[in-house]
Chains A and B, each alone.
Chain A
Amino acid sequence: KAGVTQTPRYLIKTRGQQVTLSCSPISGHRSVSWYQQTPGQGLQFLFEYFSETQRNKGNFPGRFSGRQFSNSRSEMNVSTLELGDSALYLCASSEGTSLKVDTQYFGPGTRLTVL
């Protein structure tokens, strides 16, 4: 099976702009989670989508949003970009259907630079 793919891999934006990142999960996986990775804060959970519904959310401002489509592909959007939003954004997919904890498989990430 193909792994998790993320597009674009690199992105440069300026403050105040908005950005949309895309994630295609492993075929058959219905859960998609998003993480932000920065040198200072490390890896932080943004949110998780399962069957087109946000099932869990981290402690990020409302400028960070996401959605999931019927084919399980997911997008995350960041509005009114700030310099501090510069980070590697990682997407992870898992089966998501069982009551036990699934393994999350990560994509290569999108490197966002805000100038």
Chain B
Amino acid sequence: AQSVTQLGSHVSVSEGALVLLRCNYSSSVPPYLFWYVQYPNQGLQLLLKYTSAATLVKGINGFEAEFKKSETSFHLTKPSAHMSDAAEYFCAVSPGSGNTGKLIFGQGTTLQVKP
């Protein structure tokens, strides 16, 4: 069964520092992987998604993620953190190869950005 593990429930960085949020997946088939962000009292906003077209995926707001099959990882990075990046981030995998309308989410990582 597919699953997602996010290492670190809380990450704190200084403004301008590198952001690295870790996600490892377990999947028996080539996965579709997603990163979403959730600001307080809001729904989830898609940052980027991996669909096997390219291993380095660029998303919105300067975020990118690299799919590494050998490490079963899909870590999210941003070169320079902004205060506005403070939010909760979720990695998700779509089980199976077809469209099931189902996403399996990691437990989330709260990103704190210090001035």
A residues in contact (CB < 8 Å) with B = 4, 31-33, 35, 42-45, 48-50, 55-56, 58, 90, 92, 94, 96, 98-109
Partner of A96, one of B36, B51, B101: B101
Closest to A4 in B: B43
Contact between chains at A43 and B105 (CB < 8 Å): yes
Contact between chains at B101 and A48 (CB < 8 Å): yes
Q: Assuming the A-B contacts A103-B49, A106-B36, are A33 and B44 also in contact, with contact meaning beta carbons closer than 8 angstroms in the complex?
A: no
Contact between chains at B43 and A101 (CB < 8 Å): no
Contact between chains at B45 and A106 (CB < 8 Å): yes
Q: Assuming the A-B contacts A107-B43, A109-B43, are A99 and B98 also in contact, with contact meaning beta carbons closer than 8 angstroms in the complex?
A: yes
Docked complex Cα distance between A92 and B105 (Å): 14
Q: Assuming the A-B contacts A55-B100, A56-B102, are A101 and B44 also in contact, with contact meaning beta carbons closer than 8 angstroms in the complex?
A: no
Contact between chains at B99 and A101 (CB < 8 Å): yes
Chain B 80-115 per-residue mask, 1 if CB under 8 angstroms from chain A, else 0: 000000000010101000111111111110000000
Q: Assuming the A-B contacts A101-B94, A106-B36, are A45 and B102 also in contact, with contact meaning beta carbons closer than 8 angstroms in the complex?
A: yes
Contact between chains at A56 and B101 (CB < 8 Å): yes
Docked complex Cα distance between A55 and B49 (Å): 23
- Give the contacts of B20-50 with A (CB-CB under 8 A): 32, 34, 36, 41-46, 49
The 7 tightest CB contacts between A and B, nearest first, are A48-B101, A106-B43, A43-B105, A101-B32, A106-B44, A101-B94, A108-B43
Docked complex Cα distance between A65 and B101 (Å): 16
Docked complex Cα distance between A89 and B82 (Å): 29
Closest to B98 in A: A99
